[in-house]
């Protein structure tokens, strides 16, 4: 089963859900890619009484594609986590800069097709452009954002083929998704006959994968492209 919207939904889930502490490869050098604006420092006092200053924002120094995005964000977090008066994460940074979520959403294949733009490799799409700025929230704002992140949850409605993301009882996003099949089938990857229906119940996100590989569970072979609903083929 090929999930044509996996990149679009997956990226937004990573933005909206809390980090699982996954170590990532290919972290880029933030010193080369962002400019600190020392003239716009925020001054705060730590619990020990020490004065702390950190930038209000940083400016991206060159274009960042989807393939570089997660490594770039990790590098920014790694560089500034010890400077800001709260635990910094890519999720917190993105909640403080919601325009980036909109940019990521607009890299969706089908949104681009509606604009008469065909994209063969979504990973090459630019999500952060040179001179874009990322704001660091102040302590009170960061605390508020962290509180809302703890109240974010996912609902998958199988009959509707819909995935919804909520914050408390407020609906944030709705996505069309693919679900299982009403049949049993032998899967090489499981080496057994498997019920193909989507399992119901409650669960939680235990891991995130920012550079996934894709395998056909029926024959165990890796695949690199997918046929979209419009019959056009693109990279995964």
Residues paired with residue 51 on neighbouring β-strands, in sequence order: 45
Mean pLDDT taken over the chain: 82
**Over residues 201-211, mean pLDDT:** 87
**Over residues 24-52, mean pLDDT:** 52
Q: What angle do CA 72, 75, 77 make, to 5 degrees?
A: 110
- pTM of the predicted model, to two decimals? 0.75
C-beta of residue 64 within 8 angstroms of C-beta of residue 17: no
Q: What angle do CA 222, 197, 161 make, to 5 degrees?
A: 90
Q: Looking at residue 163, what DSSP letter applies?
A: E
For residue 60, the model assigns a pLDDT of 93
C-alpha–C-alpha distance, residues 233 and 236, integer Å: 9
**Over residues 69-83, mean pLDDT:** 92
pLDDT at 57 over 80: yes
For residues 19 and 79, which has the higher predicted lDDT (pLDDT)? 79
* Residue percentage of the chain with pLDDT more than 90: 55
pLDDT at 25 over 50: no
For residue 8, the model assigns a pLDDT of 44
* Residue percentage of the chain with pLDDT more than 70: 78
pLDDT at 41 over 90: no
Looking at mean pLDDT, say which of 35-44, 45-54, 155-164 comes out highest.
Answer: 155-164
| pLDDT tens track for 114-163 | 999 999 999 999 999 999 999 999 888 999 999 999 999 999 999 999 99
For residues 48 and 98, which has the higher predicted lDDT (pLDDT)? 98
For the chain, domain boundaries: 6-235
For residues 39 and 53, which has the higher predicted lDDT (pLDDT)? 53
C-alpha–C-alpha distance, residues 170 and 43, integer Å: 34
The torsion region of residue 116 among left (phi > 0), alpha (psi -120 to 50) and beta comes to left
For residue 54, the model assigns a pLDDT of 73
pLDDT class of 43 with cuts at 50, 70, 90: low
């Amino acid at each position: 089963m090929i999930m044509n919207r996996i990149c679009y939904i997956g990226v937004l889930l990573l933005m909206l859900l809390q980090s699982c502490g996954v170590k990532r490869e290919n972290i880029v050098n933030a010193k080369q890619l962002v400019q600190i604006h020392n003239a716009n420092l925020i001054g705060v006092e730590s619990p020990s009484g020490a004065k702390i200053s950190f930038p209000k924002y940083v400016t991206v120094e060159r274009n960042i594609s989807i393939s570089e995005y997660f490594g770039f964000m990790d590098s920014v977090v790694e560089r500034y986590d010890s400077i800001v008066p709260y635990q910094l994460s890519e999720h917190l940074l993105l909640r403080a800069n919601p325009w980036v979520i909109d940019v990521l959403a607009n890299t969706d294949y089908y949104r681009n097709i509606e604009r008469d733009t065909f994209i063969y490799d979504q990973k090459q799409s630019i999500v952060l452009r040179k001179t874009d700025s990322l704001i660091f929230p102040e302590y009170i704002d960061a605390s508020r954002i962290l509180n809302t992140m703890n109240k974010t949850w996912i609902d998958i409605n199988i009959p509707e083929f819909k995935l919804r993301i909520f914050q408390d009882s407020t609906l944030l996003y709705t996505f069309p998704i693919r679900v299982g099949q009403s049949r049993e089938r032998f899967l090489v990857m499981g080496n057994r006959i498997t019920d193909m229906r989507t399992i119901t119940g409650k669960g939680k996100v235990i891991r995130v994968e920012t550079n996934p590989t894709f395998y056909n569970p029926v024959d165990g072979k890796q695949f690199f492209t997918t046929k979209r609903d419009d019959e056009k083929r693109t990279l995964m």
